[in-house]
Amino acid sequence: MASGWPKKLATTLLTVAVTLLGLLFVTFMIGRVMPIDPVLAVIGERATQAQYDETFRQLGLDKPLLVQFGIYVGDVLQGDFGKSIRTGQQVSTDIARVFPATLELATLGTLMGVFLGVPLGVVAAVYRGSWIDQIARLIGLIGYSMPIFWLGLVGLLVFYGMLDWVEGPGRLGVFYQGIVPTRTGLLLVDSLIAGDMTVFKDAFGHIILPASLLGYFSLAYISRMTRSFMLEQLSAEYVTTARVKGLSEWQVVWGHAFRNIRIQLVTVIALAYANLLEGSVLTEIIFAWPGIGQYITTSLLANDMNSVLGGTVVIGTIFVCLNIFSDLLYRVFDPRSK
């Protein structure tokens, strides 16, 4: 079995390389087919023809398309996504600044989805057909059906505008910005490290509503998949045997049935996390959250394609890596897959 690991590792690495190369090719072609002149985006529409021609050559647009793609891949591998027209900084610098906000939001949302969705799915499967199961399925149905922008607006109206239970849009109040030193980029973590509970409370008040919104959508997916996995296990013969032997329902459900779905849940949770990282654009816009989703959207409206493509590559790479990570965990927890 050990002798097969090098081959499987090589296959995995090759798959990752091909997938990422395909991602780069797609983003490269998007930058070429968009009805936006990259030269005019850099020098402006009032530039002379000589300036236009010089910039055209500097950007490498006079070279064959395959050569341009090779240059693009080489730059991306060095972390160079070009310069942002909107901010005047390197795109990689901008992404490093805004991505922690998205990471913090998606992580908290995923944790909410896991700690609430998994028990809900298990209980719904155990009491299949009961009112508990019906409520769990209704929660999942609403989570899949309701537009996230509508729930976000309603949440702001009720919990911020009417009840004043949470803070408003943004990541931190204006008064508290710059007080806590940036170490991880995660405001909740940085404020705890600094020991400033006032900033922590304000940051928590801003993040709790959008994170709960994302957590609800994550909960809907995780609870539904957990219920499906558990129903399959609870109908298996080994569960009947365990009950005949006199084991308690707690031991049967959590010690046997749930234990056998942990491997599948790893993949489900990883996909849920990846979806929140790449799919929080509307949430970030509604809550004025300064993350990568809002950064890409604002850049797109400003015709800043370097920023759009750079952010797309980063999100796509993270999605691929999370899928590979879940696959590796699957192999670790399930000896049969090795």
HEC assignment per residue over the chain: CHHHHHHHHHHHHHHHHHHHHHHHHHHHHHHHHCCCCHHHHHHCCCCCHHHHHHHHHHCCCCCCHHHHHHHHHHHHHCCCCCECCCCCCEHHHHHHHHHHHHHHHHHHHHHHHHHHHHHHHHHHHHCCCCHHHHHHHHHHHHHHHCCHHHHHHHHHHHHHHHCCCCCCCCCCCHHHCCCCCCCCCCHHHHHHHHCCHHHHHHHHHHHHHHHHHHHHHHHHHHHHHHHHHHHHHHCCHHHHHHHHCCCCHHHHHHHHHHHHHHHHHHHHHHHHHHHHHHHCHHHHHHCCCCCHHHHHHHHHHCCCHHHHHHHHHHHHHHHHHHHHHHHHHHHHHCHHHC
pLDDT score at 9: 67
- Shortest CA distance to 282 belongs to which of 297, 263, 302, 268? 297
In order of 116, 140, 216, 288, the CA distances from 146 in angstroms are 19, 10, 11, 20
Mean pLDDT of 293-320: 85
Where do the domains of the chain lie, and which CATH numbers do they carry? 2-77 (no CATH), 91-337 (1.10.3720.10)
pLDDT score at 264: 86
Confidence of residue 200 (pLDDT cuts 50, 70, 90): very high
Residue 333, pLDDT above cutoff 70: no
CB 206 within 8 A of CB 198: no
Query: What integer best gives the mean pLDDT of the chain?
Result: 85
Q: How far apart are CA 28 and CA 64, in angstroms?
A: 13
To 10 degrees, what angle do helices 91-126 and 187-194 make? 100
Q: How far apart are CA 303 and CA 84, in angstroms?
A: 10
Mean pLDDT of 195-216: 93
Mean pLDDT of 58-86: 83
Mean pLDDT of 206-227: 93
Share above pLDDT 70 across residues of the chain, in percent, rounded to a whole number:
94
Mean pLDDT check: name the lowest of 43-52, 208-217, 256-265.
43-52
pLDDT score at 4: 59
pLDDT score at 276: 87
pTM as predicted: 0.85
CB 297 within 8 A of CB 287: no
Share above pLDDT 90 across residues of the chain, in percent, rounded to a whole number:
33
pLDDT score at 108: 94
Query: pLDDT digits over 80-120, tens only?
Result: 888 888 888 889 999 999 999 999 999 999 999 999 999 99
